[in-house]
């Protein structure tokens, strides 16, 4: 994998919208919070575009923003405003050689999962799953309300190993059948987008060798989790996975009352345990990355990691994601 250069203090950060059209006022608030970390956000032309339909500009405009963000030597990283839908439309039009020749940290979650897959499998570029400008940097009056600043800095700026644990929401779902520790390349993202990739030229493919799979979702009922995990299993994805880390399930609970949410949560856990009953590796849950109401964790993808459930759960990032 190509490791992008570490994000430098004061770097100019390209802000793009590869999918849905964001709300301008939310983007403005998010840019102000990003600037408090010492960076210079640079809005690209279609970042605030409204249309056609629900997209942030047409396909050509969104592709041009992504290409120009990577090609610009003054830009230190590329961040997404939001997810939504539309990223997959860009894939046939992207220039892999341009990306490989100009590697930069790319940050986003949800619909940009499609780009994370494309960057890894077509360009060999490591990327970062985590906070976006509109839903996270704009969440409150200070950046730490929506962004886990510790993991953001660890992932994007430093070259030392670091770890995530119970303070980051990580907890045991089910111990491994033979071992409580698994090591491998971390990959994954939003479960629906990973499933949607199957059968396409850009299909989800676990990294060569041992892998650790991260999955998260929003507004997804227990039976939908069960169905999509079954799809991954039938596609042979789980056969190459040593361990699974699941995200914060709070955003998948659609009911309002505490009693109803408790019942729905119990049903979701039961569905997960039923579906993964034959999976031999250790399984953790609760990592606050992706669709969360807590400060969003930045998770480096395509790096060597270790999940250790022998004692307090810990996900160790064993190698730097940046050069």
Residues marked active site are found at 110, 216, 291
Nearest to 245 by CA among 303, 297, 204, 187: 187
Length of the chain: 323
Q: Which residues pair with 163 in a beta bridge?
A: 316
Tokens coding 276: 């993964």
């Amino acid at each position: 994998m190509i490791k992008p250069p570490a994000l430098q203090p004061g770097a100019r950060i390209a802000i793009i919208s590869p999918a849905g059209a964001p709300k301008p006022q939310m983007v403005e608030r998010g840019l102000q919070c990003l600037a408090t970390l010492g960076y210079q956000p640079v809005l690209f032309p279609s970042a605030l575009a409204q249309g056609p339909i629900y997209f942030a500009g047409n396909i050509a405009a969104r592709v041009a923003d992504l290409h120009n963000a990577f090609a610009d030597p003054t830009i230190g990283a590329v961040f997404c405003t939001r997810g939504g839908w539309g990223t997959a439309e860009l894939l046939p039009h992207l220039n892999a050689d341009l990306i490989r020749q100009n590697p930069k940290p790319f940050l986003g979650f949800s619909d940009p999962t499609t780009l994370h897959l494309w960057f890894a499998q077509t360009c060999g570029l490591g990327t970062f799953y985590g906070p976006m400008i509109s839903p996270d940097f704009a969440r409150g009056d200070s950046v730490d309300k929506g962004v886990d600043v510790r993991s953001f800095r660890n992932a994007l700026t430093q070259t030392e190993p670091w770890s995530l644990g119970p303070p980051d929401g990580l907890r045991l779902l089910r111990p491994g059948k033979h071992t409580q520790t698994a090591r491998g390349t971390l990959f994954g993202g939003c479960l629906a987008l990973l499933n949607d990739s199957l059968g396409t030229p850009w299909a989800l493919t676990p990294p060569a060798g041992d892998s650790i799979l991260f999955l998260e979702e929003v507004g997804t009922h227990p039976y939908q989790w069960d169905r999509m995990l079954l799809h991954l299993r039938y596609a042979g994805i789980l056969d190459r996975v040593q361990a699974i880390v699941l995200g914060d399930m709070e955003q998948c609970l659609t009911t309002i009352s505490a009693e109803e949410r408790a019942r729905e949560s119990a049903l979701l856990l039961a569905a997960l345990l039923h579906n993964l009953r034959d999976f031999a590796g250790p399984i953790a849950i609760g990592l606050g990355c992706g669709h969360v109401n807590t400060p969003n964790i930045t998770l480096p993808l395509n790096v060597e990691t270790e999940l250790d459930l022998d004692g307090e759960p810990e996900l160790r990032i064993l190698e730097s994601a940046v050069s």
